[in-house]
Structure 1
Amino acid sequence: MSDAISDVLTNLARPKTSATLTLRIIKSFEFRTEKSLVLKDINLETTTAGQLKELARQGIDLLYSSTSILTIHTQPGWKPYRTVNLDTLKLYTKAHGAKTSNLIINLDHDDWILKDDSKILADLGFENETEVSFFNGELYEAFKANPQIKWEG
């Protein structure tokens, strides 16, 4: 007997009022330094792009802090991300969508950059399991002008 949710595409498995989003927090484009921050139970019908940025910043602080209410979820390695001026969101991929061949960020589709912090995520096409890159816009523009990887791991 199949699980009730197994026959539903994952982007439709949860309502827009309780979505899971993955934010790819990018510290360095050249060194491919990024960590994924998973945010659960996000209401896509009321949350704005600006609020998503703030939730991500708070999430980074909470995951770094050993005294937070999220102590059981504390993850090492978030301290360096607290020093980056994270100011830009860009859609990376939606569930079941094509992914870019660039491992750090998709350099095409600059129309996927979320420029209006007041826009509601659902109106921007977000759905459950959407992946978004969060980074410093100036560093992105510099990397896009000269997309050289300085280290291969």
Structure 2
Amino acid sequence: MAGEAVVTVRLVRSFEHRNFKPVVFHGVSLDQTVQDFIKLVRDDIATRPGLPPPFRKYAYDTMKIIHQAHGAKTNELVMSLDDDDKLILQDGQTLRTAGVANETEVAFFRKEDYGLYKANPKTAW
């Protein structure tokens, strides 16, 4: 259907340690709000088999577009630190208005972690 998309959500547990897991969602309505999608993802990952508990219980609160189908990929290992004003999904927008389309990849992370990492973007091993 035209209103449904495949969206990959990259659960970012740690920017420094490049600790993330991609989770694919099929049949995502692009006309739902960002808040509704965040709730759907949180509810899904809480019970999704095969996801380690640290990823399930984490306090994710922010989504940002990483990559769109047929677009250029970033060289950043976890996600780009640029264009937050354009790429961070805003509450109250629909996914479509926010720029999410079929085969878009979004990062789901804690805004506080991202702010700390952005202030000092080092990776640890």
**Which interval holds the TM-score relative to the shorter structure?**
over 0.9
Is 1:149 paired with 2:120?
no
Structure 1 contact 37–59 (Cα < 8 Å) conserved = no
Provide structure 2 residue ranges, at least 5 long, that are not aligned to the other structure: none
Provide structure 1 residue ranges, at least 5 long, that are not aligned to the other structure: 1-13, 64-73
Aligned to 2:63, the other structure's residue is in SS state strand
Q: Displacement, 1:118?
A: 1.5
**TM-score, structure 1 as length reference:** 0.77
Counterpart for residue 75 of structure 1: 50
Aligned to 2:47, the other structure's residue is in SS state helix
Counterpart for residue 48 of structure 1: 33
Provide the rounded CA distance (Å) in 2 between the counterparts of 1:57 and 1:38.
Answer: 13
Structure 1 contact 37–56 (Cα < 8 Å) conserved = no
User: Would you tell me which structure has more strand in proportion to its own residues?
Assistant: 2
Identity %: 40
Q: Displacement, 1:140?
A: 0.2
Provide the rounded CA distance (Å) in 2 between the counterparts of 1:85 and 1:76.
Answer: 15
**TM-score, structure 2 as length reference:** 0.93
Q: Which amino acid aligns with 2:42?
A: R
| Pairs aligned (count) | 124
Q: Displacement, 1:135?
A: 0.2
Aligned to 1:95, the other structure's residue is in SS state coil
Which string of whole-angstrom CA distances, capped at 9 and with x for unpartnered residues, describes residues 71-128 of structure 1?
A: xxx2142x101332101111101101111111111111112112x3211111122110
Is 1:131 paired with 2:105?
yes
Matches within 5 A, 1:1-150: 15=2, 17-45=3-31, 47-63=32-48, 74-77=49-52, 79-111=53-85, 112-114=87-89, 116-150=90-124
Provide the rounded CA distance (Å) in 1 between the counterparts of 2:101 and 2:88.
Answer: 16
Q: Which has the larger radius of gyration?
A: 1
Q: Which amino acid aligns with 1:100?
A: T
Aligned to 2:43, the other structure's residue is in SS state helix
